[in-house]
Amino acid sequence: SFCPLNSIRNMLCRAGQIRRCAASLSHTISKVAASRQKHTLPDLTYDYGALEPYVSAEIMQLHHSKHHATYVNNLNVTEEKYQEALAKGDVTTQVALQPALKFNGGGHINHTIFWTNLSPNGGGEPQGELMEAIKRDFGSFQKMKEKMSAVTVAVQGSGWGWLGFDKDSGRLRIAACANQDPLQGTTGLTPLLGIDVWEHAYYLQYKNVRPDYVNAIWNVVNWENVSERLQMAKK
């Protein structure tokens, strides 16, 4: 038989369940939103000393735990300020934050790629499709290395040399970027292999002789990672 009291009790119970569920959902959403805003320093998959003798443990430790970490922290600070400016509709502050976003965002993007481009088991020559593309676009692996080394050594002041993929033409390209300008965000090329020629990347070991550092780094290039990046870029 129908009992109005039971029916009301059931309805209240369901409403309570829905309220609790909604509260839990909104808590989860805000946690996800907060976690998405925070960038973190990625772990290396090898020890700081693993790239010796080509890159010293001291350079790797400072480069990763101090320099890259600073880009990550400053990117988070900049994004927080940007969110505030966005919420207020403050376009002037948004525009003023652009250089910091480019510098710290680029620093984080570039170094994150760089660590995976290197491996203690690296060096040698690339295989398969990547090697075919290098031969097609540069004539030979040796010629590509020479061109990329020359462009990278010639970077004025601080910056990066890159092997990138041009989606429009389907070709590989060599490019140089100043400061921490990220390759894709500033040229449209998809980054495959980057060589950091900021002095923090080599000075403790190679002093002013940047060409020696660039020549040495080919011994620890992780060609499997570069190949994977090419496969991803082509998709």
Residue closer to Fe ion by CB (options 137, 196) is: 196
Nearer to Fe ion, 192 or 201 (CB): 201
Nearer to Fe ion, 201 or 226 (CB): 201
Instruction: Summarize as ranges the residues that interact with Fe ion (CB under 5 A).
Output: 196, 198, 201
The pair of three-digit structure tokens given for residue 36, joined into one six-digit string: 């998405």
Is residue 39 part of an annotated ligand binding site? no
Q: Provide the token pair at 63.
A: 């480069």
Smallest separation, CB 201 to Fe ion (Å): 5
111 known member of a binding site: yes
**Closest CB to Fe ion among 82 and 114?**
114
Kindly state the smallest distance separating residue 158's Cβ from Fe ion, in Å. 9
Q: How far is the CB of 150 from Fe ion (least distance, A)?
A: 20
Minimum distance from CB of 80 to Fe ion (Å)? 23
- 220 to each of 50, 134, 135, 142, 199, how far by Cα in Å? 10, 18, 21, 16, 19
Judged by beta carbon, residue 60 or residue 172, the one nearer Fe ion is: 60
Give least dist CB 196 to Fe ion, A. 4
Decide whether 126 or 161 has the Cβ nearer to Fe ion.
161
CB of 111: closest distance to Fe ion in angstroms?
A: 6
User: Which residue is at the shortest CB distance from Fe ion?
Assistant: 196
Q: Which residue's structure tokens are 């369940």? A: 17
3-state secondary structure the chain: CCCHHHHHHHHHHHHHHHHHHHHHHHHHHHHHHHHHHCCCCCCCCCCCCCCCCCCCHHHHHHHHHHHHHHHHHHHHHHHHHHHHHHHHCCHHHHHHCHHHHHHHHHHHHHHHHHHHHECCCCCCCCCHHHHHHHHHHHCCHHHHHHHHHHHHHCCCCCEEEEEEEECCCCEEEEEEEECCCCHHHHHCCEEEEEEECCHHHCHHHHCCCHHHHHHHHHHHECHHHHHHHHHHHHC
Binding-site residue numbers for Mn(2+) are 63, 111, 196, 200
